[in-house]
Structures are given as C-alpha cells and as structure tokens.
C-alpha cells in the first residue's frame, strides 16, 4: 500500500491557504464540488501528480473522475488506499511549514 505523496496535499494547500489541517480533508471529499481543485487548475494538478508518481498521464484520456477525491487519486496513480497516506503527508507538510 503506497502513501499519497506529500507534494499532492502540499499543492492543494498552496492553492487553498484557508485549509488549516489536512486531516480535515476526508479521502472521499469531492475536490471539484468543494472547489479545492477546479477546471483551470486541473492541468497543473495533473503535472504535480505526474511528478510525484513518476508516470506520464495522457492528456487525451483525462477523466475528471480520476481526480475527484484523494481516494481516487491514490488508487489510480499511487496504487493504494489513503487511510495512512493523508496523515503521513500532513505530517510532512507540517514539518516543512
């Protein structure tokens, strides 16, 4: 089970400085409905995920569903669940903060 890299949550935090604690982001929270990610920032978010995962995401086959929640991102690009991943990434961001 892979952890969600801290770069992913760091990017969300940088785009949304009003978020006080990453632990408040439920793994199933819809990132688009809550406007933590929007259509204008999606491509930048894709680049962050590419760099963190080491894979190239084919822009012609982008599906917003793949980026809908932290859980779907974890499962699609990092091969695991987000239970411990959110806490681990949060700790890393806090240390860097």
pLDDT of residue 97: 52
Q: How many residues does the chain have?
A: 97
Q: Is the dihedral of CA 43, 93, 84, 31 positive or negative?
A: negative
pLDDT of residue 25: 81
Q: Token digits for 27?
A: 């793994």
Alpha helices in 1-97 (DSSP H): 6-15, 42-53, 70-77, 83-96
Instruction: Note the pLDDT tens digit of each residue in 36-89.
Output: 999 899 999 999 999 999 999 998 988 999 999 999 999 999 986 544 444 444
Instruction: Note the pLDDT tens digit of each residue in 45-59.
Output: 999 999 999 999 998
More confident residue, 17 or 91: 17
């Amino acid at each position: 089970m892979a952890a969600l890299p801290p770069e992913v949550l760091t990017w969300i935090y940088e785009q949304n400085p009003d978020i006080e604690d990453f632990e408040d982001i439920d793994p199933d929270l819809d990132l688009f409905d809550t406007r933590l990610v929007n259509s204008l920032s999606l491509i930048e978010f894709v680049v962050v995920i590419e760099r963190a995962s080491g894979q190239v995401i084919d822009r012609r086959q982008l599906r917003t569903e793949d980026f809908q929640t932290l859980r779907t991102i974890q499962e699609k690009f990092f091969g695991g669940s987000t239970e411990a991943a959110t806490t681990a990434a949060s700790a890393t961001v806090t240390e860097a903060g």
